[in-house]
Chain A
Amino acid sequence: MLNFIEKTGDYFLSIVRDLGRMGLFLLSLIRGLFSRPFRFREVVRQLRMIGADSFWVIFFTGAFTGMVLGLQGYYSLRKFGSEGLLGSAVALSLIRELGPVLTALMVTGRAGSAMCAEIGIMRNSEQLDALECMSIDPFRFLITPKFLATIISVPILTQFFNVVGIGGGYLAGVVLLEVNPGAFFSGIEQSVVNQDINLGIIKSFVFALLIVWICAGRGYYVHKIRNGGFGAEGVSRATTQAVVMSSISVLVWDYLITAVML
């Protein structure tokens, strides 16, 4: 019984310690933004890796999301004789919800996991210690460029997702299911307002912050992970945790932001 209480106490203490570390990580992340010299070339390199290299995965995810929305939307709206609203339904679903959320989830899976693994391996092989010993701030040198690249890329990728998704919805609804194209586009024009676009943009910025904070943070503290964070297994565990936590955080914050802004 005492052993159980001790283990339970240990578990909750480790959660509190973890939250504290992540809080300090966020502060150090913000501090790194104002440290000099600024690594412009590294930001550009990260923009290519996080942003440009995600082009095809976002394209296909957006296209097929739009197509399935078009398909499902058509058959649902047909029950009420409202096929003409298909464009509105597809566009609003993408711009307000699916665009920001699915883009964030794809970037988490692709770039977030890579970020966590890279930083985790650097931690385990003492590369981060080496940077600190050379009085080089690992946040300014390593993490800030990733943060800036993610904050720039994710909103752009989200808008790209929305455009491709609407195209997919058009393909499924208008081309394949013969919905009136004029009704499709006029529905979008009438129903999508600035508030919808702002909501999507705000979500994409918040999700970008969450992705870097959680994924880079888990990699940075891989050696502090409960039940062993060393070696390849430690990095693997940290990466899995990072992707899961980041994905869940995106969904939770999606609800919170929507609840506040609606």
Chain B
Amino acid sequence: MEAAIPIHWSIGLSAVIFAIGAVGVLTRRNMIQVFMALELMLNAVNINLVAFSQHLESMTGQVFVLFVITVAAAEAAMALAIIVAFYRNKPTLNVDEFNLLKW
């Protein structure tokens, strides 16, 4: 059975989204926006995994997406808790000023 969507389309989309996420991570100064761009990159990987799962007729890719989503949720919770804890000590979200461990 021929797949409805060519695999190259999904992979191209995933590459574009990953690049947009990389731009966000590299250029934004706001800590929250950096983490939002990180979610973009994780989603790009998920699209890739699902596309290959369909292309290669194996469910392993979809199971891995499950694990990626789990780790992304854990990462978001931890990151945002760290931001809250940091904000108490120094009311800023600028990544350039995240230097409390320097002296």
Q: Do A and B come from one complex?
A: no
Q: Taking beta carbons and an 8 Å cutoff, which residues of B are in contact with A?
A: none
Q: Taking beta carbons and an 8 Å cutoff, which residues of A are in contact with B?
A: none
